[in-house]
């Protein structure tokens, strides 16, 4: 709505959300619950109540806490799948994957740790369990496991419990309140900004949207917005972000649907394909992230982002 009105004022055609047709064979994300799985075919029940049968590609990979053959993913798991050929062929699937991103409020426990996170004003709090076997791996990348510092981990959701298994980033060394200021932008804003794009699972299921840190606090009703260590231009909820995945060479337009007040506090780099620029520009919903060629278990990709 806002997008169409803004386009009308400037007399330009409104851009449309979705993948850029020039990016090649479009990827489609399919999200659902596994009803049946065999080495070659998987049947999932989607949110809309439909049943979809998809072919598993011979090169397909699966993840559920660790890499495993697709046929070993248990029935009943909630999967996010990256598919080709108009959603017929699965090439990558992630089962029960979840991501816990926020500011640490408390850490309890001696062997298995229980971490309470503050995920921002409109996302509330969340409790994450770190099993003993994963604590070493997480602590290496999260040296300050104490209140006030940032936390970002990928894990699985089992029986309603979020278990963090992999660090999604190297923890920023500053407390969440002390985000470094953006570099001065004397020359003017570039039309495309480089940085990191991550995903988050706090969006509605199947939604294709993004959370962006630089929205006006009064517009978004988000007191923690407008914080980022990248010199980002102001955009609004409803604007369209043109995201180009530098790692996978895919582009697409994603609407901004929320304020990314936690994402803006991370001044980290994504080292998945190359050392990228510092700072998180946007947080995508899992479906949008997968359709832009991102891999959920890796957690991020380097991107160039502009106004769509």
The site for another protein (CB under 8 A) is made up of: 1-2, 4-6, 8-11, 17, 122, 174-182, 184-186, 188-189, 204, 207, 209, 214, 216, 218-222, 226-227, 231-239, 255, 257-259, 265, 307
Minimum CB separation of residue 191 from another protein in Å reads 10
Minimum CB separation of residue 9 from another protein in Å reads 4
Residue with smaller CB distance to another protein, 79 or 237: 237
Is 289 in a helix, a strand, or coil? helix
What does DSSP say about strands 78-84 and 89-95: parallel, antiparallel, or unpaired?
Answer: antiparallel
Minimum CB separation of residue 80 from another protein in Å reads 19
Minimum CB separation of residue 160 from another protein in Å reads 23
Residue with smaller CB distance to another protein, 2 or 125: 2
Q: What are phi and psi of 273, to 5 degrees?
A: -115, -25
- The torsion of the CA quartet 268, 306, 93, 75, rounded to 10 degrees, works out to 100
Residue with smaller CB distance to another protein, 10 or 59: 10
Residue with smaller CB distance to another protein, 80 or 239: 239
Residue with smaller CB distance to another protein, 9 or 50: 9
Residue with smaller CB distance to another protein, 158 or 207: 207
In the chain the beta strands, taken as DSSP E runs, fall at 18-19, 28-37, 41-46, 51-63, 67-68, 78-84, 89-95, 97-108, 113-118, 125-130, 150-158, 161-167, 193-199, 210-212, 240-245, 250-259, 280-284, 300-307
- Beta carbons within 8 Å of 258's beta carbon, 6+ residues apart: 122, 203, 209, 210, 211, 212, 220, 237
Residue with smaller CB distance to another protein, 51 or 204: 204
Minimum CB separation of residue 117 from another protein in Å reads 17
Burial of residue 71 (number of CB atoms within 10 Å: 0-12, 13-18, 19+):
middle
Q: What are phi and psi of 196, to 5 degrees?
A: -105, 140
Residue 196 to residue 170: CA distance in whole angstroms: 13
Minimum CB separation of residue 258 from another protein in Å reads 6
- The answer to whether the beta carbons of residues 270 and 234 sit under 8 Å apart is no
Distances (CA, A) of 115 to 101, 107, 118, 176, 264: 11, 5, 10, 16, 21
Minimum CB separation of residue 100 from another protein in Å reads 20
Minimum CB separation of residue 249 from another protein in Å reads 26
Residue with smaller CB distance to another protein, 65 or 209: 209
């Amino acid at each position: 709505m806002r997008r169409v009105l803004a386009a009308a004022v400037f007399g330009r055609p409104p851009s449309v959300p979705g993948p850029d047709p020039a990016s090649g064979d479009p990827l489609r994300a399919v999200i659902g619950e596994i009803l049946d799985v065999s080495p070659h075919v998987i049947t999932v029940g989607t949110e809309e109540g439909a049943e979809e049968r998809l072919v598993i590609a011979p090169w397909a990979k699966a993840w559920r806490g660790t890499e495993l053959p697709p046929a070993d993913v248990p029935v009943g798991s909630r999967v996010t799948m990256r598919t080709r050929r108009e959603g017929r062929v699965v090439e990558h699937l992630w089962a029960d994957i979840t991501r816990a991103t926020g500011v640490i409020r408390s850490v309890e426990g001696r062997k298995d740790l229980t971490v309470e996170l503050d995920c921002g004003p409109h996302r509330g709090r969340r409790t994450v369990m770190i099993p003993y076997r994963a604590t070493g791996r997480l602590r290496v990348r999260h040296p300050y496991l104490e209140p006030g510092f940032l936390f970002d981990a990928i894990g699985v959701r089992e029986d309603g419990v979020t278990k963090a298994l992999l660090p999604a980033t190297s923890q920023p060394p500053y407390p969440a309140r002390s985000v470094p200021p953006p570099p001065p932008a004397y020359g003017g804003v570039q039309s495309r900004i480089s940085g990191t794009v991550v995903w988050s699972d706090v969006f509605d299921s199947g939604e294709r949207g993004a959370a962006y840190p630089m929205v006006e606090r009064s517009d978004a009703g988000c007191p923690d917005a407008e914080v980022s260590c990248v010199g980002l231009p102001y955009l609004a909820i409803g604007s369209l972000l043109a995201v180009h995945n530098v790692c996978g060479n895919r582009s697409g337009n994603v609407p901004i649907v929320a304020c990314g007040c936690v994402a803006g506090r991370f001044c980290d780099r994504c080292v998945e394909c190359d050392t990228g620029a510092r700072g998180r520009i946007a947080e995508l919903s899992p479906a949008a992230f997968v359709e832009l060629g991102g891999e959920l278990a890796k957690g991020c990709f380097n991107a160039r982002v502009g106004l769509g």
